[in-house]
Amino acid sequence: MIPVRGYANRRVAVLGLGRSGLATARALSAGGALPVCWDDSEARREAAAAEGCLIADLTRPREWEGIDALIVSPGIPHLYPAPHPVVALGQEQGAVLDNDVGLFFRSFATQEWENLQVPPRVVCITGSNGKSTTTALLHHILDACGIPSQMGGNIGRGVLDLDPGREGEVVVLELSSYQTELARALAPDIAVFLNLSPDHLDRHGGMGGYFAAKRRLFAEGGPERAVIGVDEPEGRFLAAQFREEADTGEPVIRLSVKSKLDRHGWSVFARKGFLAEWRRGRQVASIDLREMATLPGAHNHQNACAAYAVCRSIGLAPGRIEAAMRSYPGLAHRCELVGERAGVRFVNDSKATNADAAEKALLAFPRVRWIAGGKPKEGGIAPLVPLFDRVAKAYLIGEAAQDFATTLGDTPHEISGTLEVALAHAAAEAEPGDVVLLSPACASFDQFASFEARGAAFTAAVRTLLAG
């Protein structure tokens, strides 16, 4: 736990009592603050009260007496499309707004670090897609290379639930736009921007607000090293804005999976399955990514480039990075290789809850038996029509099945209804070289509690099938 500093003996409101909210309440208490907690969910309030949290109805003005700050959990809107009523009231009452990430950066560094030869460093990773995989991959590489590390933020442990920093440690944080937007303090040693595609636009008031939330990690954070994907206009703008030296590119390392970045400074890019590192107009390293089964497709090659760039920034040699990458087990529910039989691979990509995410998986494999469907998202799978030639057959489940069938048209498909039926039929019809791919392009809530539950059901059924 990271005890929060700066609020000793002061009342601090905490809105939202999920994973990060509870961790925040505990960390505030550990730092001597007096957290006052609220959640719209009665069940969460009761669970927090059972832990000893002070619960007060923060929708009532009288509860704000003596409260200095309001710490807002990431999923709660504070501006667009409309501020949560507690946030609006907190503003009226003069409370400072912050979140757990802001508290982390105010509290992580301590005076004890003066006695360390190599103080801890913090790497923050943001972007629309690939954050979790890049974070988990980087954490794995560091661990495999013997560098002490912790992983948290939007994956794993909440930032305030992490342990105090150790000698030579690297803390790897996945940060969403929700987290970077509100944090009053941002101070990464290395910041990573992967990519940008439309998402959460209602929450940020449009694409400009969404990019601005992510840009804060660099503009406010002032990292010593900026690793920036330049395959979209926003990334190219960000790289140009934060580059300080034309020759070396310092402090920016550019990333791409679309262009050969062989000029202007330091770059890492992937083309035709090979990762290349270039500095000052010459290649200094190359890694063959093609046989890394847990990092399939261009989107994962971008993740690999980002993790590689961070590792090079902290001094790891290319050979050590490559060896560690080859032992990466993959991240659950994200193009996760579950098993293989008779030349047929079974891949769990349950995290693909929209067409944009499913596109990455379809591009990763040349011939798929595609299990898709669930609770539909706006636009359905129409954006994926150009990739239907990769689909040997689609097996459709859930509420979206009929609409998806209409969009598929002449592409072979069936309405399977349930995940179990879809998997059984796909496995029976698959040929060597096929990939049976769960990449639903839908939310899970019609048949499962979460995408994790959906992925776990697929994984369990595949393992039962392969054991039979």
431-449: pLDDT as tens digits: 999 999 999 999 999 999 9
167 and 78, same structural domain?
no
Sorting pLDDT into bands at 50, 70 and 90, what band is 103? very high
Query: Is 4 part of a structural domain of the chain?
Result: no
Assigned domain for 459 exists: yes
* C-alpha span between 107 and 164 (Å, rounded): 10
Query: Is residue 303 domain-shared with residue 362, that is, in the same domain?
Result: no
Q: Which of 273, 306, 326 is the last residue of a domain?
A: 326
Kindly give the pairing relationship between strand 67-72 and strand 34-38. Answer: unpaired
Tell me if 127 is assigned to a ligand binding site: yes
Q: Pick the last residue of a domain from 44, 66, 98.
A: 98
Q: Are residues 311 and 428 in the same domain?
A: no
pLDDT tens for each residue of 205-263: 999 999 999 999 999 999 999 999 999 999 999 999 999 877 778 899 999 999 999 88
Q: Is 128 annotated as a binding residue?
A: yes
Kindly state whether residue 331 falls inside one of the protein's structural domains: no
pLDDT of residue 156: 86
pLDDT, residue 254, reads: 97
Rounded to a whole number of angstroms, the CA Rg of the chain reads: 23
Token pair 């803390």 is found at: 171
The CATH number for 350's domain is 3.90.190.20
pLDDT band at 198 (very low <50, low <70, confident <90, very high): confident
Q: Is 399 within the bounds of a domain?
A: yes
Rounded to whole angstroms, the Cα distance separating 228 from 239 reads: 6
378 and 289 in one domain?
A: no
Average pLDDT over residues 136-146: 98
Residue finishing a domain among 326, 355, 387: 326
The parent domain of residue 119 ranges over: 108-326
16 annotated ligand-binding residue: no
Same domain for 243 and 297, yes or no, is yes
Does a structural domain hold residue 5? no
Q: Is residue 117 part of a domain?
A: yes
Residue 283 and residue 137 share a domain: yes
Same domain, yes or no: 313 and 170: yes
pLDDT tens, position by position, 48-73: 999 999 999 999 999 999 999 999 99
Q: What is the total count of domains within the chain?
A: 3
Are 340 and 452 within one domain? yes
Would you state the pLDDT for residue 245?
Answer: 79
**115 belongs to an annotated ligand binding site:** no
Confidence band of 336 (pLDDT split at 50, 70, 90): very high
* Whether residue 53 is found in the same domain as residue 123: no
Establish if 2 belongs to a structural domain: no
Give Cα separations from 309 to 2, 134, 165, 253, 304 (angstroms). Answer: 28, 11, 23, 7, 9
What CATH number is associated with residue 188? 3.40.1190.10
pTM: 0.89
Whether the per-residue pLDDT at 75 is higher than 90: the answer is no
Which has the closest alpha carbon to 53: 61, 41, 43, 45? 45
User: Same domain for 168 and 45?
Assistant: no
Same domain, 303 and 161: yes
Average pLDDT, the chain: 95
Confidence check: pLDDT of 377 > 90: no
Say if residue 309 is in the same domain as residue 388: no
* 392 assigned to some structural domain: yes
The answer on pLDDT for 378 being more than 90 is no
